[in-house]
Structure 1
């Protein structure tokens, strides 16, 4: 009797009971994956680095506290260094002030010495000019401006017009290129002084400045300079000479008529009068360019 191979009975796996919410797959997916995968990964990395559990507000406060501590430390260190350096700076400042005072004092002494030497040189030059003239030494001293003089003469005052502007027909300044204003110009004073010399003046001064053969009357802007010293109007011109005759000659000369034209056309104020005694100072600086010793007669 043939035996049939024995077959094991087949066991059927009991089926897993279906989830009650199997029909609501979308809602189930949302509930199971409420946090996006990318956010979940980022949170996991932060947690692994050790800062994931610290709130941002707390981290900000800690950072601010650290910054304030560092700032306070820097300020404290800077104040300490400044306190240490303050005495050194004060000492250096005092030493610098002392040096400045010493150098200023030395410079003032040198200036005083220069003035003394300049005055001595001027005095020696005046003495040399006065003594080298022989019988005409007094005249040489007067003409060179080396000595103060006084005597009869004229007093001429020239001033700007009241409104310092004016005009008129016949411009006496046209040949000199001056504008038609009421201000006294350097060329005007040059003509006045030359007119007085030509009329017989022996010595002339303007506002106390003694004029010599080397004196210069120039302009610097609207200012008039006499030997580089500025003058302020009104300009007072004193001249030593025969008072009445000197006044008449000047007023009738071409330069006197020029001054009269300035008065008529531009309102420049003038006044001239003869004086019994006018006093002129010596020139502040007399330059001797050439000198020659005088040999007495009868000597070889």
Structure 2
């Protein structure tokens, strides 16, 4: 027992105390040797051979200093130039904005002048029709679309099919050169409008655009043009006339049956209703044309 107790102090005095970071030997090694031995050896060889990255001679150091000065000078000049040009660019931008705003004001003034001239022309046209048309002056102005009109009539809203990529086939379009789709075509609209005229309509508009005897309904691609103005579906057709008689007359006509076939075979959608009061605008551009009878006499073939 005593012998064992005498050996214990000696062994404990010979044992070194453990390092606090003994459990982190890998991290300690990385921190103590951050540069790999191979890289350190290669750097030492380059330094011994005089190939280090930094210049060693006075001339090389001088050229390096000159290069740094030139680089700093270029950066400084660029910064100064950008600061000098900033007010000029801002001024040019303000001038461009002013020019755009001025052009917009001029365009708005011209549009107002055009509307004023259109109103003047329409008023003079109405005066001429009333003066030279006699008792039929108002009727002539109405039928020509020169004046706004209001009264009872019908409202017909026509729209393309929900799926315009195809149809069930068959129907009146097969021999007309149109592809069999549910998209409303210009010829379809022509037939609808002609059917309304035949049924007794006194005035007609499509999407608030007044139709006259000189109006043209054409197509540009898939778009329908009325007097060269494109229209977008749904197409709202207003027709002034005896409401119920006008509706029944149109539905029983060949053009009304044509519209029903378009719905049944192609999915074209439409809704027709009687209206107690409609107000239709005058035609936006109306060209008056006159005709005079040829005088009979010698040499005349009349």
| TM-score normalized with structure 2 length | 0.68
Q: Which structure 2 residues correspond to residues 91-240 of structure 1 after superposition, within 5 A?
A: 91=91, 94-95=94-95, 97-240=97-240
CA shift in 2, pair 1:130/1:216, >3 Å: farther
User: In the aligned structure 1, how far is the partner of 2:103 from the partner of 2:274?
Assistant: 53
Task: Point out where structure 2 has 5 or more consecutive residues left out of the alignment.
Answer: 1-53, 293-302
User: In the aligned structure 1, how far is the partner of 2:170 from the partner of 2:85?
Assistant: 77
CA distances 1:133-177 after superposition (whole Å, capped 9, x unpaired): 111011101101111222232222222222234423433112321
CA shift in 2, pair 1:95/1:124, >3 Å: same
Partner of 1:241: 241
Q: Which structure 2 residues correspond to residues 57-68 of structure 1 after superposition, within 5 A?
A: 57-58=56-57, 59-68=59-68
CA shift in 2, pair 1:268/1:85, >3 Å: closer
SS at match of 2:56: helix
Task: Point out where structure 1 has 5 or more consecutive residues left out of the alignment.
Answer: 1-54, 293-300
- Kindly indicate whether the alpha-carbon contact (under 8 Å) linking 1:125 and 1:287 is maintained by their aligned counterparts in 2: no
- Kindly indicate whether the alpha-carbon contact (under 8 Å) linking 1:130 and 1:146 is maintained by their aligned counterparts in 2: no
User: In the aligned structure 2, how far is the partner of 1:243 from the partner of 1:145?
Assistant: 19
**Farther-moved stretch of structure 1 (251-260 vs 188-197):** 251-260
**Farther-moved stretch of structure 1 (88-97 vs 259-268):** 88-97
- Kindly indicate whether the alpha-carbon contact (under 8 Å) linking 1:165 and 1:266 is maintained by their aligned counterparts in 2: no
- Kindly indicate whether the alpha-carbon contact (under 8 Å) linking 2:169 and 2:180 is maintained by their aligned counterparts in 1: no
CA distances 1:77-133 after superposition (whole Å, capped 9, x unpaired): 444455555555555554555455444433432332233223322332233234331
Largest Rg, 1 or 2: 1
User: In the aligned structure 2, how far is the partner of 1:83 from the partner of 1:261?
Assistant: 73
User: In the aligned structure 1, how far is the partner of 2:73 from the partner of 2:107?
Assistant: 50
User: In the aligned structure 2, how far is the partner of 1:128 from the partner of 1:135?
Assistant: 13
User: In the aligned structure 2, how far is the partner of 1:217 from the partner of 1:252?
Assistant: 23
Which aligned segments of 4 or more residues in structure 1 are displaced greater than 6 angstroms? Answer: none
Partner of 2:295: none
Q: CA RMSD in A?
A: 2.8
Partner of 1:32: none
CA shift in 2, pair 1:107/1:57, >3 Å: same
User: In the aligned structure 2, how far is the partner of 1:170 from the partner of 1:89?
Assistant: 65
User: In the aligned structure 1, how far is the partner of 2:84 from the partner of 2:167?
Assistant: 74
CA distances 1:29-56 after superposition (whole Å, capped 9, x unpaired): xxxxxxxxxxxxxxxxxxxxxxxxxx96
Q: Count residues with an aligned counterpart.
A: 238
